[in-house]
Structures are given as C-alpha cells and as structure tokens.
Amino acid sequence: MVAIGLMNPSRQKKKLETGQRKDFPPIRLDLTDGEKPKRKRGSARVYEELREDILWIRIEPGSVLDEVALAKRFDMSRTPIREALVMLQSDDLVTFLPNRTSIVTPHMLDNMNEHLDTHLLLARAVVRMAAQFRTEENLERIRLAASAYEEALQTNDVYQIYGSDLALHREISRSCHNHFTRKFHDLSLDCGRRAYVLHYYPEFREEERKTSLAEHRELISAIESQDAARADAAITQHVRSELNVIKRTLDPQVGFEMEITTGGAASKKD
C-alpha cells in the first residue's frame, strides 16, 4: 500500500524567498459554523496567520523569519510584525537568536512523550464529559463534522483529511461544556499539529484510514449513548493507534539493511 504523499512535492523543490510561504489551500477547523470569522488587524492578524503557517509546515522548521520581508507580505510596518513574533515566541513557535534573527523553532521530539501524556489525559476528560453533558445540538454538529471527515478520507488531500479530523475533535471538545477543559484540550491539539504533519500523515495508508474511521465511529457512538467509560476506552485506543504510526515513521530506512564491512573488502558469505 502506498502512503499519501504529503503536499505531493515535486522532485525539484522551488526555493522560497525569505518570508515567503508554500502555496497551501485554506483549512477550516470548524466545518459546521456558517458565519465567517471576523478578520483581525495588526499584530493579531500577523500572529494568527503565521501561527497557522508554522503549525501546518507552510513555513518549515528552522526557516528565518525576515521582518522586512514579512512587513512587505502583510503590507504593514515592522512594529506589529515584531509584536507578533514575540507572541509566537511565547507559544514556542519562534526562537530569537543572539544576533536578533528570528527563526521558526525547529521541530523536536524530545518532549513528545510529555505532550502525548498531557493530550491523552485531556482527551479522556473531554470525551467523558462530552458523553455526560452533550446536547442534541452537539450531536448534530459532531455528526456533520464526522461526515466531512469521511468525505475527506475519499481524497488524497492530507490537509483536508487532517483539517476535518481536527474539526471533528474540536466539536467533541465543544460538547464537554467546560471552558477550561476545552481550552487546554484544543491547545494540546495545536501543539501536536506539526508532529502529525511530519510523522503521522506521511504514513497514512489505507490501513490507517480504515482504523481511524472505525475508531471515530466507536467514539461518536459512545458519546451518543452517553457511555463515558466506553468513550474513554475509545479515545485511548485512538491515540494509541496514532502513536504506533508515529513510531513507525521513526524507524531507520536504510541503517538496518546496510551491510557494513571492515578492512576495505566485502566479507564473503559461506
């Protein structure tokens, strides 16, 4: 089975100028709201757009963020650009170097276990509360988001698949009716976004599609039946399945297969 190619990159990559981002289709993380969000201005607009660019790897980890180029892109002075970069630094998405250069914080796996532990705890709390407190309106929104996810699964568009996946989990989060649990759960979803784009979806094969679809259906069924324990078990299994795929992407591609000899001559096999 062939994995979906992330962004279907060509063999010859076009080098981007400083401050540029990759072409990228818009992603809606709330597929059930009819109203368009109000467009923000100044540093808030720069912050939100750059944050999405970084989380979706439109601007790659380690890329230099040139304030002059960004000011040109957003058609504003460098002051709101600088303010937005400081805000992104507080999200651990931008790093300021000693020479005052700012870069997209490199993606690291050194605290991935801590993130997944925290995310799983929050996700379990969310689905348990959703099973207890969801309304009929919540269920309708969850079903609409689930339908959008199933439609996205029929495509090879990784971003639409992942965007609709996030939208579904945010609808479930909305159903818990607890401001703080929902806030920190949704933040944990965002914190893991780069890891999933880099380490999960490159291995998103037909097997993963079927597994994800079945686990989503089980989770939604548990919330519909208001079975908190069943919902807890479903989300735990869902996160475990995703983690197994992420682990697979970290396996060496050549190291185990390569025969290394010493003394400058290949060893003879009996």
Over residues 134-186, the pLDDT tens digits come to: 999 999 999 999 999 999 999 888 889 999 999 999 999 999 999 999 999 99
Give the three-state DSSP class for 11.
coil
CA 204/CA 202 separation, integer angstroms = 6
d(CA 25, CA 176) in angstroms, rounded, equals 30
Q: What is the pLDDT of residue 239?
A: 95
pLDDT above 90 (res 189)? yes
Q: pLDDT tens for residues 45-71? A: 999 999 999 999 999 999 999 999 999
The reported pLDDT for the residue numbered 8 is 39
pLDDT at 34: 45
- Average pLDDT (27-36) is 49
Q: Is-contact 79 70, C-beta < 8 A?
A: no
Question: According to the model, what pLDDT value does residue 265 have?
Answer: 53
**What pLDDT does residue 27 have?**
52
Cα-only R_g, the chain: 21
- Which pLDDT belongs to residue 109? 79
pTM of the model: 0.77
Among 190, 187, 166, 199, CA closest to 54: 190
Average of per-residue pLDDT values in the chain: 85
Q: Output the pLDDT for position 18.
A: 47
Report the alpha-carbon distance of residue 159 to residue 4 in Å, rounded: 11
Q: Give DSSP secondary structure letters for 98-143.
A: TTS-EEEPPP--TTHHHHHHHHHHHHHHHHHHHHHH--HHHHHHHH
Q: pLDDT tens digits for 94-145?
A: 999 998 899 999 988 788 889 989 999 999 999 999 999 999 999 999 999 9
Q: What confidence tens digit (pLDDT) does each residue in 258-267 have?
A: 777 776 555 4
Mind listing the pLDDT tens digit for each residue in 211-246? 999 999 999 999 999 999 999 999 999 999 999 998
Predicted pLDDT at 80: 95
Per-residue pLDDT, 20? 52
Report the 10 Å Cβ neighbour count for 106: 10
